[in-house]
Amino acid sequence: MTPAAGPDDWPALAYADWADTAATLHMWTQIVGKIRMRLTPPVNHWWHVPLYVSARGLTTSPMPDGGRTLEIAFDFIDHRLDVVCSDGARQAIQLRPVSVAVFYREVMAALATLGVTPRIWTTPCEVEAPVRFEDDLAHKSYDADAAHRFWRALAQADRVMKVFRGRFIGKASPVHFFWGSFDLAATRFSGRRAPLHPGSEMLPASVSREAYSHEVSSCGFWPGGPGIAASFYAYAYPEPAGFPAAPVQPGAARYDTGLGEFVLPYETVRTAADPDRVLLDFLQSTYDAAADLAVWPRAELERPQGDLR
């Protein structure tokens, strides 16, 4: 039997300790993510754009390139960006402190060497005051230890969120990393259409209406931002009446009115005696609240539960 994960498996991830590296990685993942979006056929809810947690970092998964396939992967153990093709061709870029502009040029040059020349929109998404990749000389930090901790935190969150996803037999997203919002997410669907989403300053209606075309209960992990600690989150769209006041677990979880979602500090999970159980309780209780208050047909959508840890 595989041994259970424990607190030592969850790394410390104080945002202030790696803020500059986080901001740079955000832009680097956007470059790779936009290449995936360009090369991969559209999938409902923009599921053709995220990256996926791998055993070494983050990957695009295989993308079509004519009769062959191409994959781009961040390796946060050996600190490389690997570009590999199904015909055996490959390129590698060392991850080190360079500007977004340099990284963008190196990635596009590596692709061109392999005969791949995707044209992408080079303006970053879902950030304030975006600077085109080719002009961004400000973001140029790469702390290898911090990047490794970030990936380890993602790997733990991904593992537990996949257990939670396995409890649902209705329509559900993969557990995937959205490079625009820089978070790991998983979404369950009731099967019913949702009201048209109004969009936001960071996410225009043309994007959000595809993402939220149907009623959802969504959860995820965000590694933090300026003045905001790394946290797990959960929300519903449309939000049912009474959702903000619903009792959820654990006690450290709270509803953030500014964000419109429940949040649970990563540090609460990381330092718990049983991090997996604490996180699963949060994911399950917030989903229970959303599904019950919105009267989802739960018997049709959920796998009968034993101890599905």
State the Cα–Cα distance between residues 171 and 157, nearest whole angstrom: 21
DSSP letter for each residue of 175-228 = -EEETTTTEEEEEEEEEEE-PPP---SSS-HHHHHHHTSEEEEEEEEE--BTTB
Identity of the residue numbered 144: A
In 3D space, the residue among 212, 173, 171, 211 whose CA is nearest the CA of residue 195 turns out to be 212
Distance CA(141)–CA(271), nearest Å, equals 28
pLDDT value of residue 1: 45
What's the average model confidence in pLDDT over 224-239?
Answer: 96
Banded pLDDT at 307 (limits 50, 70, 90): very low
Choice among 41-50, 205-214, 271-280 with the minimum mean pLDDT: 205-214
Question: With contact defined as beta carbons under 8 Å apart, do 298 and 39 qualify?
Answer: no
Contact 10, 153 (CB under 8 A): yes
Give CA–CA dist 122/134, Å, rounded: 7
CA 106 vs. chain centroid, Å, equals: 24
How many whole angstroms separate alpha carbon 128 and alpha carbon 170?
A: 36
Average pLDDT for the chain: 95
Residue 306: the pLDDT is: 58
Query: 172: which DSSP letter?
Result: B
Q: How far apart are CA 223 and CA 238, in angstroms?
A: 25
Hey, which bits of the chain come out as E strands?
Answer: 52-53, 57-59, 63-65, 68-75, 80-85, 90-94, 176-178, 183-193, 214-222, 231-237, 254-256, 261-265
In one letter, which amino acid is 224? Answer: G
Q: CA–CA separation, 308 vs 303, rounded Å?
A: 10
pLDDT at 4: 66
Question: Can you give the pLDDT at residue 3?
Answer: 61
Q: What is the pLDDT of residues 78-111, one digit of tens each?
A: 999 999 999 999 999 999 999 999 999 999 999 9
- In degrees and rounded to multiples of 5, residue 305 shows phi and psi of -95, 130
Return the higher-pLDDT residue of 305 and 116. Answer: 116
Cα separation, 55 vs 158, whole angstroms:
11
pLDDT more than 70, % of the chain: 97
Q: Which residues contact 84 (CB under 8 A, 6 or more apart)?
A: 70, 71, 73, 90
Take residue 65 and report the two structure tokens written for it: 């390139």
* pLDDT tens-digit map of 244-303: 999 999 999 999 999 999 999 999 999 999 999 999 999 999 999 999 999 999 999 999
- Condensed to tens digits (0 to 9), the pLDDT of residues 145-166 reads 999 999 999 999 999 999 999 9
CA distance 186 to 219: 6
Query: pLDDT category, 214, cuts 50, 70, 90?
Result: very high
Q: Are the C-beta atoms of residues 194 and 244 closer than 8 Å to each other?
A: no
Looking at residue 201, its pLDDT comes to 80
pTM: 0.95
